[in-house]
Amino acid sequence: MADYMPKAQSVLPFKYDSGWTGIPNAIFEIYSFHPKFTASCLKVYIFLLHRYNISLGYAFPTHDQIADTLGLNRITVVRAIKALKELDLIVVDKSHTCDNDVYYFKSPLTERNAFEQRFPEAIYKRIEHKKTRLKDAQTRHERKVDFKNEIKN
């Protein structure tokens, strides 16, 4: 079969032999509504997943490696790591062999109710987002009606 794609790559919609990094859906669908979960947090989280060493059980890039790879400054990296710790997505420890931190992953919460019970500040952001999206939809509808009326005239 010419179009056969190995099972490990079947999650991507195209053949890609240079490696890829998976990310739990809850990160996009639930954690994104936490006020401290910024785009930089997402980038750092994905990078840490990318650098996870399965045989050691942790990731161990330096802050400089993270910053340089992602095009962030060190302060942004430090803030993102702090937020990821507060959101209980990672545990940070000192390396016993090097001078840098090591990052252990924790399973994200997968139910919105459990997440919002643990992090009630996410409720407000989700509600505000919903209001903004409804207002945006209403504005688009009004523009569409205005456009149709202009065409009729």
Question: Domain with 93 in it: what CATH number?
Answer: 1.10.10.10
Identify the domain containing residue 69 by its residue range: 15-119
Is residue 59 domain-shared with residue 30, that is, in the same domain? yes
* Greatest CA separation for the chain: 76
Is residue 70 domain-shared with residue 97, that is, in the same domain? yes
The pLDDT, as a whole number, for residue 13 is: 79
Which amino acid appears at position 139 of this protein?
T
Is residue 40 domain-shared with residue 106, that is, in the same domain? yes
What confidence tier does 16 reach under pLDDT thresholds 50, 70, 90?
confident
Closest-CA residue to 70 (of 93, 89, 42, 95): 42
**What is the mean pLDDT of the segment spanning 89-109?**
93
Q: Is position 85 within any domain?
A: yes
**Domain total of the chain:** 2
Ranges 4-18, 37-51, 106-120, 129-143: which has the least confidence: 4-18
The answer on pLDDT for 88 being more than 70 is: yes
CB 62 within 8 A of CB 74: no
The pLDDT, as a whole number, for residue 25 is: 95
Query: Which residues lie below 8 Å from residue 52, measured CB to CB, with a gap of 6+?
Result: 58, 59, 105
Between 46 and 15, residue with greater pLDDT: 46
Is residue 130 domain-shared with residue 113, that is, in the same domain? no
Closest-CA residue to 72 (of 46, 33, 49, 40): 40
Question: What is the chain's mean pLDDT, rounded?
Answer: 90
Long-range contacts of the stretch 129-133 (C-beta < 8 A, 24+): 129/33
Q: Is position 73 within any domain?
A: yes
CB 22 within 8 A of CB 12: no
What confidence tier does 9 reach under pLDDT thresholds 50, 70, 90?
low
The pLDDT, as a whole number, for residue 1 is: 42
Is residue 67 domain-shared with residue 39, that is, in the same domain? yes
